[in-house]
Amino acid sequence: MDRRSGAPYDLAVVGAGSAGLAGAVTASELGLSVALLDSSPQSGGQYYRHPATALGAVRPEALHHDWSAFTGLRRRLAESGVDHLAGHHVWSVVKEADGTWAVHALTGPDGNDGAPVRIRARALLLATGAYERQLPFPGWTLPGVVGAGGAQAMLKSGLVLPGRRVVVAGSGPLLLAVAASLSSAGARVPAVVEAAGYLRYARSPRALLANPRKAVEALVHGAALARHRVPVRLRGAVTAVHGTERVEAVTVSRLDRDWRPVPGTGRRIACDAVAVGHGLVPQIELATAVGCATRVLPDGTLGLALDGLQESSVPGLWAAGETGGVGGAELARTEGELAGRAVAARLLGRSGVAGPVAGLRRRRDRMRAFADVMSAAHAPGPGWSGWLTDDTDVCRCEEVPAGRVREAVAEFGARDARTVKLLTRAGMGWCQGRMCGTAVACLAAGGATPEPSPERRPLAVPVPLSTLAALDGATELSVDSST
């Protein structure tokens, strides 16, 4: 059923995590009408995932760092005039002929409730976050192997553990936080296995000294691991998972400087679950679909190219948080506020926010410099594919093994992920290459530095054909019609 549409919102914000919340409440407090869309039923994003009220958690803050920052944003959201549209899965954004933005969304927990929804706005802020980067290894499809961030999400939102004895592996500072949370919740963590080292941080002392809060975070997590007697093994990786019906043990091998497994160093560790992740990948599909320029980040992933006020190369589209490069919740909040102020200044023609903006830019630049150091320190080395056997599934959705990808490269001349996809179907499944994209690109590059995928996805989430057919009759939400 169509609603009678009123005026478009001044600003539509996609994503209710740290960056989106900060941007939405800031813009609203400065006088803009704001719609905040998010697929989750509650605000907080991945970083501040928390249990539903029905679970009766007494102290949800116990599993979070800097919880007060989130509760402050949540309070400001409740007191603001922001229309928080929870359970809205945005699948496309389009710039209309009149210069406004049309944001198309599916509604409901799974995006299958009712007719499609369209929100119109004069400006757009994307705060869509990131997803985990996974590098495959033999046995990674066994039940009990979960993403490191996935394990943390299970604990934060469902109060459940992936197992009783969990090896945490991969690369990046998220591993320390995950291991500390699992240990504090009662799991036994036999080891944290970090593929990189931490010496590269020491090569950038200026960035370290300018961001003392990051050192404090590391000390907090390190103290928790020491208290629970969790060893941290550097320059190592889970190179095989063993078990029949589910995980029973893993083999951990030493790595050389290029992440190649060192022969004869494999050590078996008994466990019933593995939480593994190799950093995060900015989620930028909505932005690239409308032509936003990107930049290659120090770890080889793509982030949006943004100006000093968080605006993209497409006028009227701003972005904040992990979309421009992974840097954590504090940086995301800073960029969100900066973007909210920039949008308000543009739409309202005010110059009185120059002082706050200058301070926000300095803080953003300081934290972004540290984020680039972190990204470079944990970038996967070219030799990681040495732990793949030919029968190891690389693309889980289409069950494409490494041997078939290698055949496409060696026998049929594939040199990029797109050509491999056409020859093997790797990346054509439900996740559209989000899980296997990095691995396929690395194998296609044959040991050279892989080119980040330039492909654009017109649909950011799976959309039924019936939704596309019903676009002309989509419910349009506006400042005067939202509920």
Chain segment 432-472, per-residue pLDDT in tens: 888 888 888 888 887 777 766 656 777 887 788 877 777 77
- Whole-number Å distance between alpha carbons of 208 and 231: 24
**What does the pLDDT read at residue 58?**
66
Helices (H), ranges, 281-353: 285-289, 329-348
Q: What is the average pLDDT value for the chain, to the nearest integer?
A: 89
CATH number of 134-278: 3.50.50.60
What is the tens place of the pLDDT at every residue in 134-182?
Answer: 999 999 999 999 999 999 999 988 889 999 999 999 999 999 999 999 9
As annotated, the residues of the chain forming the CATH 3.50.50.60 domain(s) are 9-131+281-375, 134-278
User: Which of 167, 182, 145 is closest to 63 using CA atoms?
Assistant: 182
- Whole-number Å distance between alpha carbons of 73 and 59: 18
3-state DSSP call for residue 21?
Answer: helix
pTM summary value? 0.92
Average confidence (pLDDT) over 73-84: 95
Q: Tell me, which fold does domain 9-131+281-375 have in CATH?
A: FAD/NAD(P)-binding domain (3.50.50)
Residue 352 has pLDDT above 60, yes or no: no
**What does the pLDDT read at residue 453?**
65
Helices (H), ranges, 137-273: 148-158, 174-184, 199-202, 205-209, 212-227
**What does the pLDDT read at residue 483?**
44
In CATH terms, 388-468 corresponds, of 1.10.3470, 3.40.50, 3.30.200, 1.10.10, to 1.10.10
**What does the pLDDT read at residue 433?**
83
The angle subtended at Cα 405 by Cα 403 and Cα 139, nearest 5°, is: 55
Per-residue pLDDT band at 92 (split at 50, 70, 90): very high
What is the tens place of the pLDDT at every residue in 238-256?
Answer: 999 999 999 999 999 999 9
As annotated, the residues of the chain forming the CATH 1.10.10 domain(s) are 388-468
Per-residue pLDDT band at 205 (split at 50, 70, 90): confident
**What does the pLDDT read at residue 354?**
61
Burial tier of 180 (Cβ tally within 10 Å: 0-12, 13-18, 19+)? buried
**What does the pLDDT read at residue 220?**
87
**What does the pLDDT read at residue 3?**
33
The first and second tokens of residue 267, run together, are 């050590």
